C-alpha cells in the first residue's frame, strides 16, 4: 500500500466515523427499519469510498454523500426491495438519535407516532420532509440532494407535511396547530 493510499484510507475512516450516526439516522427515517438503514448507510459509504477523490474535491462532501444515500435508497425502492412493517411495528429508535429535551417519554411517544406516519408517505415526499426538517437543509440544498427543482421540493414537502398533519391529529380533535415562520405557514 502506498503512502497516498494509506492517507486516503485514513481520511475516509475519519470521515466515515464522524458521519456514521447522522447517515444512519437519515437512512432509518427513509427505510423505517434498523437493518435496512444500516445496509443503506453502508452502501452509501461504500460508494463514497470508491468515489473518494470526487467526494473530497466536492464543495460539500456531506452533501455529496447524502446524495449517494438518497440515490441508493431510490434504487432500492424502485427495485421493490423495501421493507414492509408488521402491523404492530412500534418504530423503535431513530438510529440512536441524541435526546433533544428533558421529556424523553414524550419524545419517545412522538417518535412512535411519527415513524409510521412518515413511512406511509410516498418516497419523494418522505425524502423531501426528511431533508428539510430532519437534516435541516434549505430548499436549495434539498433540491440539490434530490436532483430536482426547488419547486418540486416545496410541493413535495407541503404535500408530505399535510399528510403528516392529517395522520398525526388525534381522533376527535378538530383543527390543528401550524407553525408559522416569517408570517407564513412553514
Residue 86: φ, ψ to 5°: -65, 155
pTM > 0.75: yes or no: no
- Residues 116-125 have pLDDT tens digits of 888 899 999 9
**Segment among 35-44, 49-58, 102-111, 163-172 with least mean pLDDT:** 102-111
Domain containing 111 — which CATH number? 1.10.10.10
Binning pLDDT at 50, 70 and 90, where does residue 181 land? Answer: very low
- Residues 23-80 have pLDDT tens digits of 999 999 888 889 999 999 999 999 999 999 999 999 999 989 999 998 898 887 665 5
Contact 72, 47 (CB under 8 A): yes
On whether residue 183 sits in a domain, the answer given is no
On whether residue 84 sits in a domain, the answer given is no
Of 104-108, 132-136, 147-151, highest mean pLDDT: 147-151
On whether residue 111 sits in a domain, the answer given is yes
pLDDT of 84 over the 80 cut: no
Mean pLDDT for the stretch of residues 76-91? 48
In whole angstroms, what is the distance from residue 104 CA to residue 91 CA? Answer: 15
Chain-wide mean pLDDT for the chain?
A: 79
DSSP assignment of 54-101: HHHHSS-HHHHHHHHHHHHHHHHHHTT-PPPPPTT-----SSSPPP-S
**What percent of the chain stands above pLDDT 70?**
72
Domain containing 19 — which CATH number? 1.10.1740
User: How many domains is the chain partitioned into structurally?
Assistant: 2
pLDDT attached to residue 101: 47
> Which has more confidence, 22 or 175?
22
On whether residue 11 sits in a domain, the answer given is yes
Are 165 and 109 in a shared domain?
Answer: yes
Neighbours of 172 (CB within 10 A): 5
The 3-state DSSP class for residue 117 equals helix
On whether residue 147 sits in a domain, the answer given is yes
Amino acid at each position: 500500500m502506498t503512502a497516498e493510499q494509506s492517507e486516503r484510507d485514513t481520511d475516509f475512516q475519519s470521515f466515515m466515523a464522524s458521519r456514521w450516526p447522522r447517515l444512519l439516522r437519515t437512512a432509518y427515517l427513509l427505510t423505517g427499519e434498523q437493518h435496512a438503514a444500516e445496509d443503506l448507510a453502508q452502501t452509501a459509504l461504500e460508494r463514497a469510498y470508491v468515489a473518494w477523490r470526487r467526494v473530497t474535491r466536492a464543495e460539500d462532501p456531506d452533501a455529496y454523500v447524502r446524495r449517494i444515500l438518497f440515490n441508493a435508497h431510490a434504487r432500492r425502492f424502485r427495485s421493490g426491495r423495501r421493507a414492509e412493517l408488521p402491523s404492530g411495528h412500534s418504530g423503535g429508535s431513530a438510529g440512536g438519535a441524541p435526546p433533544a429535551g428533558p421529556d424523553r417519554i414524550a419524545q419517545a411517544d412522538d417518535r412512535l407516532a411519527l415513524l409510521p406516519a412518515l413511512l406511509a408517505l410516498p418516497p419523494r415526499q418522505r425524502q423531501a420532509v426528511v431533508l428539510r426538517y430532519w437534516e435541516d437543509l434549505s430548499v436549495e440544498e434539498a433540491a440539490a440532494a434530490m436532483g430536482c427543482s426547488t419547486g418540486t421540493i416545496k410541493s413535495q414537502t407541503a404535500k408530505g407535511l399535510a399528510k403528516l398533519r392529517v395522520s398525526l391529529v388525534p381522533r376527535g380533535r378538530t383543527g390543528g396547530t401550524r407553525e408559522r415562520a416569517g408570517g407564513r405557514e412553514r
